[in-house]
Amino acid sequence: MTASESPAPAGRVRVMLVDDQVLLRTGFRMVLAAQPDMEVVAEAGDGVEALQVLRSTAVDVILMDVRMPKLDGVETTRRICAEPDPPKVLILTTFDLDEYAFSGLKAGASGFLLKDVPPGELLAAIRSVHNGDAVVAPSTTRRLLDRFAPMLPSANTEPQHKELGRLTDREREVMMLVAQGLSNGEIAARLVLSEATVKTHVGRILTKLGLRDRVQVVVLAYETGLVRAGGHG
């Protein structure tokens, strides 16, 4: 029995590759094919094709290029994430501070990766977003948001979001640390809490604010002024 004929392991992550560079898709496909818990179920060379394929293919995680013909990755991500129960999207960028990265996160992406990401980091990122975590390194988050600070509210403005008032003091504290890019484990160590307790707090924050994942927490925290670019962290 060949590997392709062997039974698929439970919980296998179904991945879609969306990029107009065939060689890049081939490289990613080879890396993913070697993993027992992943499989590439679809590919597309542009956003229009990706949307068409998704109508008939179940996908868990999408690796999405931003610069593509017909429909770019940001708008494609926005349309995908507007659908009920959408797959997770990881934006692929050429540069660490690609101007599309922040737009991709706002559009609903769960994080972004450099196209030359080492295989181990690529696989870890796919598994992380599949499990509901964000993939934006703390240092990159801060530099990204510092760069795009002019697009965000003035530091003199008070936090504005009608649901922020529903958060407890502890939840606001956790939210601010999430916004700085800290993992649940790092937040637990900082606040002297168990990781399970932090995960519970994060879940309540997402529910109260109507947010999908940690990346949306980061964006909202900066947009509302709860955390200032260049300030905390």
Mean pLDDT of the chain: 79
Beta carbons within 8 Å of 75's beta carbon, 6+ residues apart: 47, 107
Tens digits of residue pLDDT in 33-47: 999 999 999 999 999
The token pair that represents 33 in the structure block:
């094919």
| pLDDT, mean of residues 134-162 | 55
Q: Looking at residues 77-88, what average pLDDT do you find?
A: 90
Placement of tokens 């094919």 in the chain: 33
Residue type, 155: A
Q: What percent of the chain has pLDDT over 90?
A: 34
Q: Sheet of 88-93: strands edge to edge?
A: 38-44, 13-18, 61-65, 88-93, 111-114
Of how many residues is the chain composed? 233
- Domains of the chain are 3-135 (3.40.50.2300), 153-223 (1.10.10.10)
pLDDT tier for residue 94 given thresholds of 50, 70 and 90: confident
Give the C-alpha separation, 106 to 86, whole Å: 15
At 170-217, the pLDDT tens digits run: 998 999 888 877 778 889 999 999 989 998 999 899 889 888 777 778
Is there a contact between 122 and 113 (Cβ–Cβ < 8 Å)? yes
